[in-house]
Structure 1
Amino acid sequence: MAVWALGINHTTAPLDLRGRFAFALDQIAPTLHSLRTDVGNRLGRQPEAAILSTCNRTEIYCAGAQHEIDTTVEWLAQAGHVNPAVLRSHSYALQDAGVARHAFRVASGLDSMVLGEPQILGQLKDAVRVAEEAGALGSTLNQLFQRSFAVAKEVRTSTEIGAHSISMSAAAVRLAAQLFEDLSRVKVLFVGAGEMIELAATHFAARSPRGIAIANRTLERGEKVAGRFGAELMRLADLPTRLHEFDIVVSSTASQLPIIGLGAVERALKARKHRPMFMVDLAVPRDIEPEVKELEDVYLYTVDDLAHVVQGGQAHRQAAVAQAEAIIDAGVQSFVHWLDQRAAVPLIQQLQQQTEEWRAVELARARRMLAKGEDVEAVLEALSRGLTQKMLHGPMAELRTGDAESRQRATAAIEHFFLRKER
């Protein structure tokens, strides 16, 4: 069984390119169907597949009869409406042991922008769940991901990889505090109601801002988050007319197009008499039009802009990284051994089927002999002789035919499999 992966992340591709390949959780199932159909047309059989899509990465994991990386690149490029050569220049492709190592590092937080952050493990588990529900997950990828979860658990419990980590949300609060002397005097608007917004709201709420509001497309989800933080609930449609009320705007939705445009921000600044606005766009694709960053009184940060802040605590965790990599090495070796064993499964199945056919033939012959009243001892003798003759027919034929080299190979194999002495 061949295993391969294709991905782009925060180290290989710019934000706008990553945005072209961002899939919301409810888009994964139909996207998997498209991928498996396209690759399956080449393989003759649909591969196992799973897609991990976060603000920092989009990765495709597949397992099939043979590696189909080129086909996967072509499919993903078409899905993102980019030239395949452009995608190749910003992506990474992995096979077998390389896939396992990468998946284990991702699950453990070693490949994240925030070293050791735990959020990626939950996102990976969501991706696996969706793939399983879509019927795209087979025994090989299931084994890969279950081992990923086990390795991640061992890394987190056996090392201090997560110690001193600075989250994206904490970095946003730190930057906001540099702009506003007292965060207790500002009003904060959160656009969206997903996990990223909850994390950001938790960090900002700890600074006791003057007001918090949640704007979300779905009011039911928005009410849950707003109730947790004692925040005002807004309709997303009211955003353009109320944007000027807020000093800080943090946005993270699954929208495929920007929901806060340049014109809306310009009008808000005019109403604020050009008092500064701090804006954080945690979404991929972007929620806030990139041109907003050029406005004089706006301080706009994207997930990539926050990178240098979250890297600040990296030095404290480098010793733990070596420990984590050792755990991952052991996990990779174990998975590769399992994968090698899986390669022998078809041959084992064929061998079992062949011996079962032999057994059935000889057993039927023995029953006929017994029905005719033949002696039981003679029937057992014939049964055993028939089975051994069928088992030895192939090896004996190899010894009698072929050239000297072929007979030598057959001799070695026969001695190995049939003449080994029990120790």
Structure 2
Amino acid sequence: MVLLSLVASHHELDLAVLERLSSDVHAVGRELVGAATSISGAVVLATCNRFELYLDVADAADAPAARTAAARTVAARSGYPVEAVAAHLTALTDTSAAGHLFAVASGLESMVVGEREIAGQVRRALTAARRDGTTTGDLESLFQAASRVSRAVDARTGLGGTGRSVVGVALDIAASGLPDWSDVRCVLVGTGSYAGASLAALKARGVTDVRVYSPSGRASQFASARGVRAVPSGADLASEVAGVDLVVACSGAAGAVLEVDALASARSDDARPLTVVDLALRHDVDPGVRELPGVRLVSLHTVAQHAPAEHAAVQTARTLVDNAAQDYEGDRRVREWNPAVLAERTRVLGGLESALQALPDEARDERTERALRRRTRAALHAPTIRAREAARAGDTAAYASALAELATVAVPGMPAVGAQSAARSHDEPTSATA
């Protein structure tokens, strides 16, 4: 197995490009696994500031073909030329891919460094892959490890405890144009997980007057479960927000739900100032509203410009992530290369038991048999440890040498296998030997 990740993020691309790449993300995973024979699994991670594919590829030689297949699939969904998609997606493999996902899950690659919302998004990406039937055992292991690393980073550095998030930074920016939080009247657009996080952040700041609007008609259930009010289904959103102080929009609807012309018509010349926080990648609010008198727009671009800078805790977190990635890749190689070690041990120990069972009763001696088993296991122990340590380090030469030594361990009544022959058989561990 080769882990291949294809990464596009806010570090290199405009958010509008990421929005198009993220079109129909679940279809991308299903299509890749269904159509590309070299790809056995796929998890798609798409958030407001990244689009990433994690692929389980059969062999290193298949990685270029898998990358091409991914670019074609994403291109067909996004409308970008294949060449453009391929240029947008940075390829990472194995340790680098694992380290990147661990850093992402820990909030180290986020627009707001250290934010915690991404940890839930990583978990939901794996859940979606399970639902779509595109995950594999290796991808399960990778994403579960990412969640463990995220928790460890939080526990060791306290980054998650600082409350930094895209929502939090956006509301901090919005605060300068608002009355006291306890007096703010707000309309929340959306009912998903991001809307839940936004509502929690609003309440934490002391906002009590919140009404929920849902383009999909789910406002009533969402609002009643959280102790706020719902905007009546079918109501005109522009009219509803005309008399409030703040709009927080994060529905992810396909297209703007608050248009500039509609808002302009709903607002009077003496309308109170309105701050609009649009956290949707696809823009819930027409960006043109920033041109309206008395309207201030806080977007993801604004958040990116004001995100907190890195500090010592982040550097500690990056060290933890790097070490975790090395450990994960070492463990993966041990699992992949260990079957050849087990096969040699099984050959020797199985041969020993067969030889002992073949002895006539008068020749059997319990003490001698125990001693022989003990000496045989002792002879197997050192090369077994060396083989596994070599696998963890990725040292194929040391691994082949240890495996060859295992192959020469003699079994009573059976000839030893020549070390030179064994070395030739196992000098390059592959997925086939795994």
Which range, TM-score by smaller chain?
0.7 to 0.9
Give the 5 Å matches for 1:16-31. 16-22=16-22, 28=26, 30-31=27-28
Partners of 1:132 and 1:321 lie apart in 2 by 32
Say whether 1:73 aligns with 2:66: no
Q: Return closer, same or farther for 1:137/1:410 CA change in 2, 3 Å cut-off.
A: same
TM-score by length of 2: 0.73
Say whether 1:2 aligns with 2:2: yes
Partners of 1:152 and 1:210 lie apart in 2 by 32
Partners of 2:337 and 2:181 lie apart in 1 by 63
The one-letter code of the counterpart of 1:335 is Y
Q: Paired residue for 2:110?
A: 112
Matched position secondary structure for 1:306: helix
Q: Paired residue for 2:263?
A: 265
Q: Paired residue for 1:142?
A: 140
Q: Return closer, same or farther for 1:9/1:352 CA change in 2, 3 Å cut-off.
A: same
Partners of 2:93 and 2:212 lie apart in 1 by 43
Matched position secondary structure for 1:155: helix
Q: Paired residue for 2:284?
A: 287
Partners of 1:293 and 1:37 lie apart in 2 by 44
Does the 8 A contact of 1:213 with 1:226 survive in 2?
no
Say whether 1:320 aligns with 2:313: yes
Does the 8 A contact of 1:114 with 1:310 survive in 2?
yes
User: Deviations for 1:59-107, whole angstroms, at most 9, x for unmatched residues?
Assistant: 1101121322232223222221112333344432211111010011111
Does the 8 A contact of 2:220 with 2:229 survive in 1?
no
How far apart are residue 240 of structure 1 and its match? Answer: 3.7
Partners of 1:412 and 1:162 lie apart in 2 by 50
User: Deviations for 1:312-358, whole angstroms, at most 9, x for unmatched residues?
Assistant: xx35xx222232222222211222223323443676799899x79x9
The one-letter code of the counterpart of 2:132 is A
How far apart are residue 214 of structure 1 and its match? Answer: 0.6
More relative contact order in 1 or in 2 (CA 8 Å, sep 6+)? 1
Q: Paired residue for 2:332?
A: 339
Partners of 1:335 and 1:34 lie apart in 2 by 28
Comparing 92-101 with 75-84, greater Cα deviation is found at: 75-84
Structure 2 unaligned spans of 5+: 363-409, 428-434
Matched position secondary structure for 1:37: helix
Q: Return closer, same or farther for 1:210/1:329 CA change in 2, 3 Å cut-off.
A: closer
Q: Paired residue for 2:170?
A: 172
Aligned length: 369
User: Deviations for 1:257-295, whole angstroms, at most 9, x for unmatched residues?
Assistant: 2222222122123x3545432111111111112233333
The one-letter code of the counterpart of 2:46 is S
How far apart are residue 186 of structure 1 and its match? Answer: 4.0
Give the 5 Å matches for 1:63-212. 63-66=56-59, 67=63, 68-208=66-206, 211-212=209-210
Matched position secondary structure for 1:258: coil
Partners of 2:423 and 2:180 lie apart in 1 by 82
Identity of aligned pairs, percent? 25
Does the 8 A contact of 2:219 with 2:231 survive in 1?
no
Q: Return closer, same or farther for 1:146/1:170 CA change in 2, 3 Å cut-off.
A: closer
Structure with max Cα Rg: 1
Matched position secondary structure for 2:231: strand
The one-letter code of the counterpart of 1:324 is A
Does the 8 A contact of 1:2 with 1:64 survive in 2?
yes
Give the 5 Å matches for 1:262-411. 262-269=260-267, 271=268, 273=270, 275-311=272-308, 314-315=309-310, 318-344=311-337, 388=414, 409-410=420-421
Partners of 1:142 and 1:411 lie apart in 2 by 34
Structure 1 unaligned spans of 5+: 364-369, 378-383, 397-408, 417-423
How far apart are residue 180 of structure 1 and its match? Answer: 2.8
Comparing 30-39 with 251-260, greater Cα deviation is found at: 30-39
Partners of 1:190 and 1:236 lie apart in 2 by 15
The one-letter code of the counterpart of 1:99 is A
TM-score by length of 1: 0.75
The one-letter code of the counterpart of 2:288 is E
User: Deviations for 1:96-125, whole angstroms, at most 9, x for unmatched residues?
Assistant: 111010011111111112222221111111
User: Deviations for 1:151-197, whole angstroms, at most 9, x for unmatched residues?
Assistant: 22221112233354433333333333312344444421111112222
Q: Return closer, same or farther for 1:11/1:351 CA change in 2, 3 Å cut-off.
A: same
Q: Paired residue for 2:366?
A: none
Does the 8 A contact of 2:174 with 2:277 survive in 1?
no
How far apart are residue 126 of structure 1 and its match? Answer: 1.1
Partners of 2:422 and 2:252 lie apart in 1 by 65
How far apart are residue 221 of structure 1 and its match? Answer: 5.2
Partners of 2:35 and 2:272 lie apart in 1 by 52
How far apart are residue 140 of structure 1 and its match? Answer: 1.3
Matched position secondary structure for 1:4: strand
Q: Return closer, same or farther for 1:65/1:137 CA change in 2, 3 Å cut-off.
A: same
What's the RMSD between the two structures over aligned residues? 3.6
**Residue number among 31, 51, 57 corresponding to 1:34 in the alignment:** 31
